[in-house]
Amino acid sequence: MYSTAFLDLPPLVNAAGTVRLPGSKSISNRVLLLAGLAEGTTDVRDLLDSDDTRVMLAALEALGCRLQRNRASLLVTGIGGQLRTREAKLFLGNAGTAMRPLTAALAVLAATQGGAFELSGVPRMHERPIGDLVDALRQLGCPVADLAQPGFPPLRVGDGATHMLQTGAPIRVRGDVSSQFLTALLLALPLVTTDGPVTIEVDGELISKPYIDITLRLLARFGIDVQRDGYRRFVLPQGSAYRTPGRIHVEGDASSASYFVALGAIAATDKPVRIEGVGLDSIQGDIRFIDAAQAMGAQVKGGDGWLEVKRGAWPLKGITLNCNHIPDAAMTLAVMALYADGPTRLTDIASWRVKETDRIAAMATELRKLGATVEEGADFIEVQPLPAGAWRAASIHTYDDHRMAMCLSLAALNPLAGAGQPVPVRIEDPRCVAKTFPDYFEALFDLVQPLAGSVPVLTVDGPTASGKGTLASELAAKLGYHLLDSGALYRATALAAQDAGISLEDEASLAMMAAQLDLRFDGHRVLLGGRDITDPLRLESTGGMASRVSVHPAVRQALFQLQLSFRRLPGLVADGRDMGTVVFPSAELKVFLTASVEQRASRRLKQLLGKGVAATLDGLLADLRARDERDMLRSVAPCKPAEDAVLLDNSALSIDASVEQVLGWWQARRPF
C-alpha cells in the first residue's frame, strides 16, 4: 500500500495480465455482522482486509465475539443474539456498511436486553445521513439519542433499561436515500421475532436494489428466510434465529472489478485483462457494470469467478445510462467517458452526494482539472470526451474517497486518447484506497505498461559517506518510488569474488560473475545466492573492495542492464557514482551530494561506532581519501556531477533539511 502524500502516475499505454480481486466490502461486512450475531462459529474465507472491515472486526471484538485468524480464514464465534457486553463506544471510521447495520442491531439488542452503545466515526461519517434509519428504530420503541446533529452520527442507542418493542405494526423506512437503512433493519430485526413476525415497509422508490438482494441472500445463508413483496414489503418470520452456515466464502469485490474492466476496455489491445475472484455468477449488483462497459465498447468474456476484458470499440462510445442499480461502479464510467466519441450522461445518481464525499461535485471538479467539460446536476453528471492535446497534467484531490483515487488513476492512460502531449497524473493521498483495496496501485502497476521513457528517475550521486544512501531511501519512501543502491551491486560482486577466490584485478572473471549475480533484495535484507549478506555488505572493507572492482569497464557493463531494470512503475530513486552521468542520463533530477571529507569521516565514525564496529577518525579519513581518489579518477564512469546536476553540499544540513531541499527541486520539475 502506498502511504505517501501523493503518487505520481506516468502516462500509461497498454494493459494485460491477471488481477486477483480482494473480497467484496459489502459482502465482507454483512457476513461479519451476521457471523457476529449468530450462534456458533463461522469460518469466513477470502474476507476483505481493509479499513472498513477492520472497524467492523474491532466492533465485534468489543461486543464479545471471538475472532481467530488463521492463514486462509477468519473464525468468528458469535454472540448468539445475546449481549455479552452492555456498554461500549464503537468507532466505525467512514464505513457506512458498519455504521448503519450496527446501529440497528445494537439498538434492538440494547432495547430488549438492557444496554447502551455509542457509535461514532470520522468527521465525514458525521455528515452522512442516518435519520431515516433512526426514525424507523424509534417507531419500534428503541431509544436512540443524537449526540451531535440530529439525523447524523454520532449516536447513542439504548439507555441501559429494557423496553417492549412495537413489533406488531409494520416498521416503515425510506428507501430513496440509501438502501443501507433497509439492509440494516433486515439484518437487525430477526433478533426480535420471538413474539411474532416483523414486517418492514419501504416508503418511496428503493434505490440500489441489488444491495438488498445481497442482504437477502446472506440472510438465507444464515438461516433467515425473508418473505417479500417485491422491494416494498419484507416479512421476517416469527422465531427467526441466526444459524452459522459453517464455512462462507466472500467473493471478490465487483465494484473494484470495475477499474480493471475499464482498464481492459481502454488499454488491452492485444491480450486481455483477466479479473479473478468475481465473475458472471456474482451476487453483487455492481457486476452489471460490465453491461455498461460493453455498451461503451468493451469486449467482455466471463465465467464463474472470472472475467476477461479487451478493447472493442475505440474510441469508446458515449452513453446515457440510469445508474441507480450500480451507484458505486458507475463512477468508473465517468472517467471512461473521457475516452469516448461523444458525451456520457449518468443519471439517477443522487446517492453519490451522500457517500464518502459528495461524489458528483468531486468527480466534476477533478475531471475539469484534467481539461474535461463536465455538467453536473442534483442527480446526474454529463462528461464530454477529452480530445488528444487537450489533456492537462493534474493533481487529483481524492477527498478521502477510495473510489475517487481508483477511478481517476485511469486518466493516466491519456496517451491512448490520440496524438498529443501525454501527461502524468498525480493522485493525492493514495492511501485512501485502503478502505476497500489496499494494494490497488500495486495491482495496477502489475498490469500496465508505461509510455517508453516516462517512468521518472531521480539520481543521487556523490562520494562515499556523503549521505547518498540515507537521502535516496528517504526520497524513495516519500515518493513511493523504487530504490536502487547501485553501490550494493558492486559490493555484492566484490563479496562474491572473495567467496570464489577471484582476484579483484581479474576483470574477465569478475565481469562474468557480475553478470550472473544471484542477488535478491528483500526489504532491508540482501541475499546473495540465498545467503544473507546484509551485514558484510556494509563493512568498510567491502566498500573498499567494491571500489577496486568497479574500476573495470567489463564489470560496469555487466551490471548495466541490472541497474536499468530497477526503473519500474511508479518511479525510481537511484544512488551511486554514475547514476546521472551514465546509467540514467535522462533522469528528471540529478543531485550531486557532497560534504567535506572531515564531515563525512566523522559521520561514518559515528555510524560505525553506533554499530559496535571499531574505527578511528584518522583511519577513516585515509580510507575515504583513497576511495574518493579511485572513484573520481578512474577512466570509466568516474564519480562526478552530470552537467545538468544540482549540487548539494550537506556539510551543514540535517538529513531532513536535505530531503526537503531535494523534494522542493523535484516538485519544481513536476508539471502539477
Ligand X SMILES: Nc1ncnc2c1ncn2[C@@H]1O[C@H](COP(=O)(O)OP(=O)(O)OP(=O)(O)O)[C@@H](O)[C@H]1O
Ligand Y SMILES: Nc1ccn([C@H]2C[C@H](O)[C@@H](COP(=O)(O)O)O2)c(=O)n1
Choosing from 43, 51, 328, 401, which is the catalytic residue? Answer: 328
The whole-angstrom separation of Cα 527 and Cα 496 is 11
> Does 490 contact ligand Y by CB under 6 A?
yes
The whole-angstrom separation of Cα 666 and Cα 480 is 14
Rule CB under 6 A: choose which of 78, 175, 576, 580 binds ligand Y: 576
Kindly write out the interface string for residues 368-407 of this chain, putting x where it contacts ligand X by CB under 6 A and - elsewhere.
----------------------------------------
User: Scanning residues 478 to 507, which ones bind ligand X (CB under 6 A)?
Assistant: 487
Q: Spell out the residues 6+ positions from residue 108 whose beta carbon is closer than 8 angstroms to its own.
A: 137, 140, 142, 165, 188, 189, 191, 192
Give the 3-state secondary structure of 36-58. Answer: HHCECEEEEECCCCCHHHHHHHH
> Does 466 contact ligand X by CB under 6 A?
yes
> Is 89 annotated as a binding-site member?
no
Residue 470 binding partner per list ligand X, ligand Y, none, with a CB distance cut-off of 5 to 8 Å that depends on partner kind: ligand X
225 belongs to the catalytic site: no
Residue 325 binding partner per list ligand X, ligand Y, none, with a CB distance cut-off of 5 to 8 Å that depends on partner kind: none
The whole-angstrom separation of Cα 261 and Cα 21 is 12
Contact region with ligand X (CB under 6 A), list: 45-53, 369-377, 431-439, 463-471: 463-471
Residue 491 CA: distances (Å) to CA of 240, 458, 537, 576, 588: 69, 22, 6, 12, 27
> Does 580 contact ligand Y by CB under 6 A?
no
Which residue, 339 or 566, is less far from ligand Y as judged by CB?
A: 566
Smallest separation (angstroms) from ligand Y to the CB of 581: 9
Q: Map grid coordinates 452513453 to a residue.
A: 319
Report yes or no: 436 and 286 within 8 Å, Cβ to Cβ: no
> Does 465 contact ligand X by CB under 6 A?
yes
For ligand X, how many residues bind (rule: CB under 6 A)? 17
Report yes or no: 6 and 395 within 8 Å, Cβ to Cβ: yes
Instruction: DSSP for 331-359, please give it.
Output: HHHHHHGGGBSS-EEEES-GGGGGSSS-H
Smallest separation (angstroms) from ligand Y to the CB of 489: 7
Rule CB under 6 A: choose which of 29, 112, 414, 486 binds ligand Y: 486
Which residue, 354 or 539, is less far from ligand X as judged by CB?
A: 539
DSSP H or E run through 19: strand 17-20
> Does 590 contact ligand Y by CB under 6 A?
no
User: Scanning residues 552 to 611, which ones bind ligand X (CB under 6 A)?
Assistant: 603-604, 607
Contact region with ligand Y (CB under 6 A), list: 69-77, 246-254, 427-435, 572-580: 572-580
Contact region with ligand X (CB under 6 A), list: 50-58, 407-415, 494-502, 646-654: 646-654
Report yes or no: 81 and 193 within 8 Å, Cβ to Cβ: no
The count of C-alpha atoms lying within 13 angstroms of the C-alpha of 528, restricted to the half-sphere facing its C-beta, is 22
User: Scanning residues 491 to 550, which ones bind ligand Y (CB under 6 A)?
Assistant: 491, 543, 546-547, 550
3-state helix, strand, coil in the chain (%, to 5): 40, 20, 40
> Does 470 contact ligand Y by CB under 6 A?
no
Residue 490 binding partner per list ligand Y, ligand X, none, with a CB distance cut-off of 5 to 8 Å that depends on partner kind: ligand Y
Kindly write out the interface string for residues 548-567 of this chain, putting x where it contacts ligand Y by CB under 6 A and - elsewhere.
--x-----------------
Contact region with ligand X (CB under 6 A), list: 152-160, 232-240, 249-257, 467-475: 467-475
> Is 435 annotated as a binding-site member?
yes
CA torsion sign for 263, 266, 271, 272 is: positive
Cβ neighbours of 535 (radius 10 Å): 12
> Is 299 annotated as a binding-site member?
no
Instruction: DSSP for 547-591, please give it.
Output: HHHTT-HHHHHHHHHHHHTT--TT-EEEEESSIIIII-TT-SEEE
> Does 470 contact ligand X by CB under 6 A?
yes
Pairing of β 380-383 and β 344-347: antiparallel
Residue 627 binding partner per list ligand X, ligand Y, none, with a CB distance cut-off of 5 to 8 Å that depends on partner kind: ligand Y
> Is 179 annotated as a binding-site member?
yes
> Does 655 contact ligand X by CB under 6 A?
yes
Residue 518 CA: distances (Å) to CA of 471, 500, 501, 525, 544: 27, 14, 17, 14, 22
> Is 128 annotated as a binding-site member?
yes
Contact region with ligand Y (CB under 6 A), list: 268-276, 443-451, 502-510, 571-579: 571-579
Pairing of β 299-303 and β 41-45: unpaired
> Does 621 contact ligand X by CB under 6 A?
no
Q: What is the DSSP letter of 284?
A: S
Contact region with ligand X (CB under 6 A), list: 2-10, 184-192, 387-395, 462-470: 462-470
Smallest separation (angstroms) from ligand X to the CB of 514: 18
Rule CB under 6 A: choose which of 274, 431, 577, 604 binds ligand Y: 577
| DSSP 3-state of 73 | strand
User: Scanning residues 605 to 664, which ones bind ligand Y (CB under 6 A)?
Assistant: 627, 631
Residue 38 CA: distances (Å) to CA of 193, 297, 460: 15, 45, 58
Contact region with ligand X (CB under 6 A), list: 188-196, 324-332, 408-416, 654-662: 654-662
> Does 578 contact ligand Y by CB under 6 A?
yes
Which residue, 253 or 631, is less far from ligand Y as judged by CB?
A: 631
Rule CB under 6 A: choose which of 121, 487, 570, 571 binds ligand Y: 487
> Is 66 annotated as a binding-site member?
no
Which residue, 225 or 499, is less far from ligand Y as judged by CB?
A: 499
Residue 262 CA: distances (Å) to CA of 36, 147, 403, 644: 36, 42, 13, 40
Q: Map grid coordinates 547501485 to a residue.
A: 486
Report yes or no: 315 and 385 within 8 Å, Cβ to Cβ: yes
User: Scanning residues 156 to 215, which ones bind ligand X (CB under 6 A)?
Assistant: none
Closest alpha carbon to 504 in 543, 536, 455: 543
> Is 301 annotated as a binding-site member?
no
Which residue, 449 or 616, is less far from ligand X as judged by CB?
A: 616
- Roughly what angle, to the nearest 10 degrees, separates helices 402-409 and 440-447? 10
Smallest separation (angstroms) from ligand X to the CB of 656: 8
The whole-angstrom separation of Cα 183 and Cα 458 is 50
Quote the distance between the C-alpha of residue 514 and its chain's center.
Answer: 37
Which residue, 447 or 549, is less far from ligand Y as judged by CB?
A: 549
Quote the distance between the C-alpha of residue 362 and its chain's center.
Answer: 19
Burial of 481 (0-12, 13-18, 19+ CB in 10 A): buried
Residues comprising the binding site for ATP?
Answer: 462-470
Positions in the binding site for ligand X (CB under 6 A): 464-470, 487, 543, 603-604, 607, 650, 653-655, 658
Positions in the binding site for ligand Y (CB under 6 A): 464, 486-487, 490-491, 543, 546-547, 550, 576-579, 627, 631
Residues comprising the binding site?
Answer: 25-26, 30, 96, 128, 178-180, 208, 328, 355, 359, 403, 435, 462-470
Catalytic residue set: 328
